Amino acid sequence: MEMRQEIRQKLSQVLVMTPKLQQAIKLLQVPALELQQILKQELMINPMLEEVEEAEETEETDDEAAEETDEETPVTEDEGELKTSEETIDWDRYLKDGFEMSERASGESEEREEFQDRAPVAKTTLSEYLLSQLRMATASEEGRRIGEFIIGSLDANAFLTASVEEIARLVAADETKVAEMVALVKTFDPPGIGASDLRECLLIQLEQLGLADTLAALLVREHLEDLLERRYPEIARNVKKTVQEVQAAAEVVAGLDPRPGTRYATEDPRYIVPDLIVDMMEDQYVVQLNDRNVPRLRISRAYKEILSDARASAKHDHDYVVDKLNAARWLIKTIDQRRRTMVKVMEAILDVQMDFFEKGVEHLKPLTLQQVAERVEMHESTVSRVTNNKYVQTPRGVFELKYFFSTGLRTESGEAASSKKIKALIQDLIEKEDRSRPLSDQDIGEILRREGFYVARRTVAKYRDQLGIFSARMRKQY
């Protein structure tokens, strides 16, 4: 076989996404809160855009709107530039075939993300809280120095990750003094701080509650592994107590905090702003966009004067104005198409899941992105971007749009049942079970089969785990 290098010419078509189309795709998939920030930035950088005030929006008549449209058309000199082939956004074409981003588009995206960074809300961290207690607990300079090192050695759960010997060596202090400071830190709030492991953490909390000599403390000291596995009969035989007494002590332990440091986690809370609203109006459900806080944009009414001045000046000034005018028109069209697309997709979901809105989660039907895409005559990728990270407010609560999509399981009637419906049935069965004789996964599967749902035991176990429900042995009450 002969190997050689050669140069060939190849002609191929590659779909390259322009900055405008990249902007259109991004605006389609961002939630309302992020869209609000993006549009505020566009108002700052594009002089051809202006925000329509709420009072103006309500007072503006159809005749005024028509007049504004007529005023936009006389720019005949640059009509070829202003009215481009990009007026209609074909999202499906780009999402279906793939695309390559230009360097300019990528740069704009990075700048926009930087603009959207929000200043974090100031919070008291665990370290700050403990240091404030340390300052009040000791006036010794050496004690504070050792205590600060101990606090700095706590992990996210507030467990101490270094031994007394290691700390003494690292801070060049006497081990006795270090041990005293470790003991001091263990008295700080929240209870359990400074423990070396879970067992010590729980014992510290029991001691501070005055329960150091109780059965609960004995179980933690000598039978923690069995306690975690809820082997109450075995524990009862070993400690010569009744199973009921062991279970009562276990409930005391269950009320303790195994990770006391997590309550001071610095992660910012996530606030959900629904992008869509489904409400009942005149005996029927209506879909509305929740874009009340999103700026309403229009072409500045002073643009003709700006364009006229630009024509009289240098050509590059004129080109700048025309470019900004095109960008403004494109943005307005993109936002309008985004609104219509989102409402259209939600209406298709509403049509399929009407029983859910009227009767509850037990009546949720199997639904895929492909089925919605066929209903709205769009590509599946478009529907995916519309529903990703979007939320809808309904009479039954706030749900992520992805919630309405699920796989189906076969039923006796031949129809498919949503996996979420099966999960709801499993949860309902477990909530109503006799805790002294909890239902096994096999029992639940048989009950569901009697109701017409073909669900295997392994499927029941998988759904139960996803619901965060323990097995029958772990749920048993004595």
- Please state the rounded mean pLDDT for residues 389-400: 90
The predicted pLDDT at position 39 comes to 87
Tell me: pLDDT of 301 over 90. no
Do residues 56 and 24 both lie within one domain?
Answer: yes
Assign 16 a pLDDT band (cuts: 50, 70, 90).
low
Rounded to two decimals, the pTM is 0.61
DSSP one-letter string for 257-316: -S-GGGGG--PPP-----SEEEEEETTEEEEEE--TTSPPEEE-TTHHHHHHHHHHS-HH
114: pLDDT strictly greater than 50: no
Q: What is the mean pLDDT of residues 39-58?
A: 77
pLDDT at residue 104 in the model? 38
* Pair 152, 233 in one domain: yes
Could you tell me if residue 286 is inside a domain? yes
Q: Average the pLDDT over 78-99 and give the result.
A: 45
Q: Which range among 119-128, 224-233, 361-370 shows the weakest confidence by mean pLDDT?
A: 119-128
Tell me, yes or no, whether 6 lies in a domain. Answer: no
pLDDT the model gives residue 80: 37
Question: Would you say residue 1 lies in a domain?
Answer: no
pLDDT reported for residue 34: 84
pLDDT of residue 56: 59
Q: Count CB-CB contacts under 10 A for residue 39.
A: 20
**Range in 63-72, 347-356, 450-459 with the lowest mean pLDDT:** 63-72
Residues 18 and 92 in one domain: yes
Positive or negative, the Cα torsion across 91, 93, 99, 101?
Answer: negative
Same structural domain, 48 and 70: yes
- Among 383, 405, 427, the domain-final residue is 405
What per-residue confidence (pLDDT) applies to 59? 52
Condensed to tens digits (0 to 9), the pLDDT of residues 189-238 reads 889 999 999 999 999 999 999 999 999 999 999 999 999 888 999 999 99
Supply the range of the domain harboring residue 283: 14-114+273-405
Q: Is residue 144 part of a domain?
A: yes
Segment 164-190 shows an average pLDDT of 92
Residues 371 and 444 in one domain: no
State residue 242's pLDDT score. Answer: 93
Domain boundary among 382, 405, 428: 405
Whether the per-residue pLDDT at 106 is higher than 60: the answer is no
User: How many domains is the chain built from?
Assistant: 3
Q: Report the pLDDT averaged over residues 92-102.
A: 44
Q: For residue 16, give the nearest of 88, 85, 93 by alpha carbon.
A: 93
9 within some domain:
no
To the nearest whole number, what is the mean pLDDT of the chain? Answer: 79
Q: Are 241 and 290 found together in one domain?
A: no
Question: Do 397 and 328 reside in the same domain of the chain?
Answer: yes
pLDDT of residue 95 exceeding 70, the answer is no
Query: What is the mean pLDDT of the segment spanning 251-259?
Result: 92
Predicted confidence (pLDDT) per residue in 326-336, tens digit: 888 888 888 88
